């Protein structure tokens, strides 16, 4: 497992969050899985924070081509213990609307072509994901989000599809029957890889659209438009959440490998 010490908190998300960092500087980190996009390290309220744009600085990696292992490994190598992710999602649950913010609590994984683990053998590891998102980070995000935005859902099941196409209406009906509230393309394997390296991970999901078949038609343009509309509030949530994250971890994430090895 890599170790380092530049930053303890990471933000994974779109571009446009650089302004929140004081003294920002770019760094490149190599990993056994290749290079992640450039990382930006700086400070938020006196805490060292590293920023990673998962789709690349020019949004050149589609969700199924993001090098999730390189990204998560590089953050671990820098000493990151906590990851705050931002994810665009469509709403399956009709009580959730475009413009809402959801702090999800569980995942249904429907990806199929992505490298899902750091443990390809001979070391075999089965991590527990009974609680796939860090409870400590989630409670900070829920509290702060509620103080910044009128429509916040404190839990939700997010289904992750392979993409890059949007879903069919029948797929969305199936996901609803299975219990999904939201659908996106990037939470898996990101959240699971973080757990494999004993990092805390939680997500701020912003709802850009109703899922396929609920609204007329889906466009990538509306996803981008909602991302830019909500960028300011997501940024405000991050800036206020970071200093409220306890210095010491009191969650099970840091012990994820205990009893997980065969």
Residue 109 binding ligand HPA, by CB under 6 A? no
Residue 191 binding ligand HPA, by CB under 6 A? no
Residue 166 binding ligand HPA, by CB under 6 A? yes
Between 78 and 183, whose beta carbon lies closer to ligand HPA? Answer: 183
Residue 175 binding ligand HPA, by CB under 6 A? no
Q: Which of 14, 36, 98, 184 binds ligand HPA (CB under 6 A)?
A: 184
Q: For residue 253, give both structure tokens.
A: 């994430």
From 82-90, 188-196, 232-240, 244-252, give the range in contact with ligand HPA by CB under 6 A. Answer: 82-90
| Strand-strand pairing, 101-102 and 22-27 | unpaired
- Mapping DSSP to helix (H, G, I), strand (E, B) and coil, where does residue 85 land? strand
Residue 183 binding ligand HPA, by CB under 6 A? yes
For the chain, state the CA radius of gyration: 17
From 77-85, 104-112, 207-215, 252-260, give the range in contact with ligand HPA by CB under 6 A. Answer: 207-215
Q: How far is the CB of 52 from ligand HPA (least distance, A)?
A: 18
Residue 88 binding ligand HPA, by CB under 6 A? yes
Strand partners, 103: none
Which sign, positive or negative, has the C-alpha torsion 4, 5, 6, 12?
Answer: positive
Which sign, positive or negative, has the C-alpha torsion 214, 215, 218, 221?
Answer: negative
Q: Which of 13, 14, 36, 90 binds ligand HPA (CB under 6 A)?
A: 90
Element at 50 (helix H, strand E): strand 47-53
Apex CA 90: angle with CA 86 and CA 91, to 5°?
115
| Site for ligand HPA, rule CB under 6 A | 88-90, 161, 166-167, 183-185, 208-209, 211, 218, 223
């Amino acid at each position: 497992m890599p170790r380092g010490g530049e930053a303890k908190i990471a933000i994974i998300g779109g571009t446009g969050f650089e302004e929140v960092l004081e003294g920002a500087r770019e760094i490149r980190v190599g990993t056994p899985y290749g290079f992640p996009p450039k990382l930006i390290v700086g400070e938020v309220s006196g805490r060292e924070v590293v920023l990673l744009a998962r789709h690349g600085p020019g949004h050149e990696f589609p969700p199924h081509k993001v090098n999730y292992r390189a990204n998560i490994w590089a953050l671990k190598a820098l000493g990151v213990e906590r990851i705050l992710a931002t994810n665009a999602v469509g709403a399956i649950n009709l009580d959730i609307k475009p413009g809402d913010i959801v702090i999800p609590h569980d995942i249904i994984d429907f990806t199929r072509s992505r490298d899902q683990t750091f443990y390809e053998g001979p070391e075999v590891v089965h991590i527990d994901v009974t609680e796939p998102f860090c409870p400590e980070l989630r409670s900070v995000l829920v509290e702060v989000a509620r103080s910044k935005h009128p429509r916040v859902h404190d839990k939700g099941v997010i289904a992750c599809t392979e993409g890059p196409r949007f879903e069919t209406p029948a797929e969305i009906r199936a996901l609803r029957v299975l219990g999904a509230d939201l659908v996106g393309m990037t939470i898996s394997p990101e959240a699971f890889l973080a757990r494999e390296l004993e990092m805390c991970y939680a997500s701020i999901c912003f709802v850009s659209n109703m899922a396929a078949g609920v609204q007329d038609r889906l466009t990538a343009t509306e996803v981008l438009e909602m991302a830019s509309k909500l960028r300011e509030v997501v940024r405000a949530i991050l800036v206020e959440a970071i200093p409220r994250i306890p210095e010491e971890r009191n969650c099970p994430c840091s012990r994820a490998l205990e009893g997980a090895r065969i």
